[in-house]
Amino acid sequence: MKSGPRYHVKPRRHRERKTDYRLRLKLLRSKKPRIVVRKSLKAIRVQFVEYNPQGDKILASAISNELTKNYGWKYSASNTPAAYLTGLLAGKRAMEKGIGQGVLDIGLYHPTVGSTLFASLKGVLDAGIECPHDAQMLPKDERIYGVHINKEIKPLVGDIKTKIKGDKEE
């Protein structure tokens, strides 16, 4: 066990490798809402989060499981097309609440070209939200429409995309 007058215990979330505080501080200095994208084995979550000293406030949110329940999605909720549609849904909800810009927060995930994280970002951008990004990181349209998975997915993605853009209630 380390000890001594100069030893400093790091914050709990840093020790658990859950939060990169240097990156978080850079994102918070932008004074824009963070577009937080988190993925699990079964779902992808996109949230618009605003800093608050008492605790971050979620302004708008979408999870890919909603695609199955509300829009007739029959495939995995954690693949690239589902990530795109989830980002589109979250971006639309944010636009309805008057949020026009944000900063992408991918947390501790490594930025990989064409990953599901950037598919979610493309969905947010297509919804009309401004976010600084490198266009090379976004996945190609074939991947967004799921041609690499199954040729039958493409029309379903297009249908759900028009439903999301046309929805008044969400």
Q: pLDDT tens digits for 108-149?
A: 999 999 999 999 999 999 999 999 999 999 999 999 999 989
Q: Show Cβ contacts of residue 47 under 8 Å, excluding neighbours closer than 6 positions.
A: 35, 36, 38, 58, 60, 61, 62, 90
Residues in the chain, pLDDT under 70 = 167-170
End-to-end CA distance of the chain: 53
If you count DSSP H runs as helices and E runs as strands, how many of each does the chain have, helices first? 7, 4
Side chain identity, residue 99: I
Residue 111: which of 131, 137, 86 has the closest Cα?
Answer: 137
Looking only at the bridges linking them, the beta strands covering 103-105 and 57-63 are: unpaired
Return d(Cα 116, Cα 43) in angstroms, integer: 11
pLDDT of 170 reads 42
Q: Does an H or E element contain 166, and which?
A: helix 153-166
| Dihedral angle over CA of 158, 114, 149, 127, nearest 10 | -20
Cα atoms in the Cβ-side hemisphere of radius 13 Å centred on 125 = 15
pTM over 0.85: yes
Alpha-carbon distance of 17 to 32, in angstroms, equals 25
Q: What percent of the chain has pLDDT over 90?
A: 78
Cα–Cα dist 91/87, whole Å: 6
Q: Which domains does the chain have, with CATH numbers?
A: 18-163 (3.30.420.100)
Structure tokens at 41: 């084995």
DSSP structural state of residue 135: G
